[in-house]
Each structure stands twice: as C-alpha cells, then as structure tokens.
C-alpha cells in the first residue's frame, strides 16, 4: 500500500500509501515490482484516536479510499481519495479533500503523479509532475505546473511500489530497522523525503478473501470520496497472505532531516502489500483508520 500521500503534520498536505523502505546498509539496486503484490481497493474509516490539549482538535472523522491496479509487468496505477473533517474546541470545522493519482512503470524507471487538495470552497492546490531514473540510479524530478526542473533525487531514491517491495523483502529477511529516500510527489517543494521504519515480529494477516466475502457496497460517505476510475475484474478468491508485520513508518522533511517527523503511521503490512490497522500520527493529534471495505482485482495482463 502507499501511505506517504496522506496528510502531513504541516497543514495536512497530501502524501502516498505504499509502505516503503530498503534494508539498512544494503547497496542500491532498482527493485523490480513483485509478482505477488495484490491489485486492490481498500476503504478506511478515519476517527480521532487521541488529541493533545494544545492541538485544539475536538473531533475528527473521514474516509481514505485507496486503489492500486496493474501488475508487475504492466506497471501500477495508484488512485486514492481522502475526505477529512476536523472539528476544533470552539465548534468550527475544517474539511479537507485530497485526490492523488500516480503511475509507476514496471521497471521503476518513471513515476508520474497528480495531487489535488482543497480546504473549503476556494482554497485549492494542484501539483503534477514526473520523476525519471538516470543511469546512476538517481532521479530527475520535474513539476509540470511550473514546467521547471524541481530537484534531483540521490542514487537509491525509491518510488512507492518499489518501497513496498523493498520493505517486504526486509521483513522476510528478519530486518527490524530500515530506511530509504522516497519520492512520491507529496512534498510541497517536490523533493524526495528521508523515511525510516521499524518492523515488528510477524503476526497473522487479517485481510483475506474469506474475511471480506460478504462485504457490502461502499456506503454513501465512501462514495463521496470515491472518484476512482472504473474498476477491473474482481478477484474473489485471491491467494491469502501468509503473514503480516507491524510497521511504524516515519517521513522527514529533507530540508530539516534532523527535526521531528513530518508524518508517522503505524499499521500492519501483509505479504501481498495490503495494509490494515492504521494509526496516523500528526504530533498534536492522531487518527485511527479501520478497514471497512476491501476488493481484490485481477492483475492486468501483459503485452508481449
């Protein structure tokens, strides 16, 4: 899954849900997209988990709809929508909507993205761009709205699904601490971001075909957040994941890498790349994301 495009601590800006990171100390090599990642759509109901007194946040509610389709040979299309309402202690409400679209090619050489965020009727931002990997493993990042080169990512910079694969490889190898430089288009200045993750001991997975065999259609609130493309063919009997790992993932501002994390999320990650049990930490308050609807899709066919 891709989690970095979720709102950050700084103004709830958008971030991606593929959960990410390469084994500590390993030499960089572009990571092929794994055959066993599952194309799927997941709907998470967001509620307030905790709030410090100084945060002025009294309540929060929303939905996070995440969809990834494609395959290891066709590349992956990532589409997600987040609708979040925050209520302050004076009774005021701030409503934020974020739409994130991205495509990662099969070789992990090219990544394109678009993020649209609105707060209220008139406050809207749009960021579009692409990153291309060079021969030395670094990436060139361009923002389309300014038609200028935004930045370069250092050799070893990973894209979202590469990060998911790399973190799963680390978990299977028994690694407990991993880090990477991540680019998913979520940083305000278009930069790649340092990320670190702690991986716990394996646990039983919860997202199985049996668990969601009788799932109801998306409710009205989910449909409001769900501006997704037509879905591919459903896969009702997808192979079950063999295990999952508790993850605590932190993103840092590349301009202030020694500061507190911009965003931190805890969750469980299944062997097929599906996430459950989200806790999104913004410092002064945190949100819990409970998986309420899940649909698996058939992998996209490969063109010879």
Quote the CA–CA distance of 192 and 129 in Å, as a whole number.
13
Contact 1, 273 (CB under 8 A): yes
- pLDDT in 10s for each residue of the chain, 304 residues: 555 555 554 444 333 333 222 222 222 223 334 457 888 999 999 999 998 877 788 899 999 999 988 888 888 899 989 999 988 888 888 888 999 999 999 888 999 999 888 886 667 788 889 999 998 888 988 888 776 666 777 888 888 888 878 889 999 999 998 888 888 888 877 788 898 888 999 999 877 665 555 444 444 444 444 455 556 777 777 788 889 999 998 888 888 877 888 888 999 999 888 899 999 988 888 999 999 999 888 888 876 5
Distances in Å between the alpha carbon of 297 and those of 196, 236, 293? 30, 8, 14
Instruction: Give the separation between CA 45 and CA 293, rounded to whole angstroms.
Output: 9
d(CA 256, CA 262): 10
* DSSP code for 38: P
Task: Tell the burial category of 125 from Cβ atoms under 10 Å away from its Cβ (0-12, 13-18, 19+).
Answer: middle
What residue spans define the domains of the chain? 2-296
């Amino acid at each position: 899954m891709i989690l970095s495009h979720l709102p950050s601590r700084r103004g709830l800006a958008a971030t991606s849900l593929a959960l990410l990171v390469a084994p500590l100390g390993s030499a960089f090599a572009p990571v092929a997209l794994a055959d066993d990642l599952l194309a799927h759509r997941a709907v998470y109901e967001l509620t307030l988990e905790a709030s410090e007194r100084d945060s002025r946040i009294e309540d929060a509610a929303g939905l996070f709809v995440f969809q990834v389709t494609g395959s290891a040979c066709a590349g992956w299309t990532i589409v997600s929508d987040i609708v979040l309402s925050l209520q302050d202690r004076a009774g005021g409400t701030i409503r934020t909507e974020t739409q994130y679209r991205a495509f990662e090619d099969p070789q992990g050489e090219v990544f394109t993205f678009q993020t649209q965020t609105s707060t209220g009727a008139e406050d809207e931002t749009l960021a579009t761009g692409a990153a291309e990997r060079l021969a030395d493993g670094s990436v060139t990042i361009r923002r389309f709205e300014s038609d200028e080169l935004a930045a370069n990512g250092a050799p070893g910079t990973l894209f979202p699904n590469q990060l998911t694969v790399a973190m799963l490889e680390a978990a299977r190898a028994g690694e407990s601490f991993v880090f990477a430089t991540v680019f998913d288009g979520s940083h305000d200045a278009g930069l790649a971001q340092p990320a670190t993750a702690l991986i716990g001991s394996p646990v039983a997975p919860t997202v199985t075909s049996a668990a969601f065999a009788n799932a109801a259609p998306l409710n009205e609130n989910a449909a409001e957040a769900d501006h997704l493309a037509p879905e591919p063919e459903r896969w009702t009997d997808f192979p079950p994941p063999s295990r999952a790992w508790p993850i605590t993932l932190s993103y840092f501002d590349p301009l202030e890498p020694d500061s507190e994390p911009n965003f931190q999320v805890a969750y469980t990650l299944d062997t097929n790349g599906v996430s459950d049990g989200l806790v999104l930490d913004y410092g002064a308050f945190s949100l819990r994301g409970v998986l309420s609807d899940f649909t698996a899709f058939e992998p996209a066919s490969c063109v010879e």
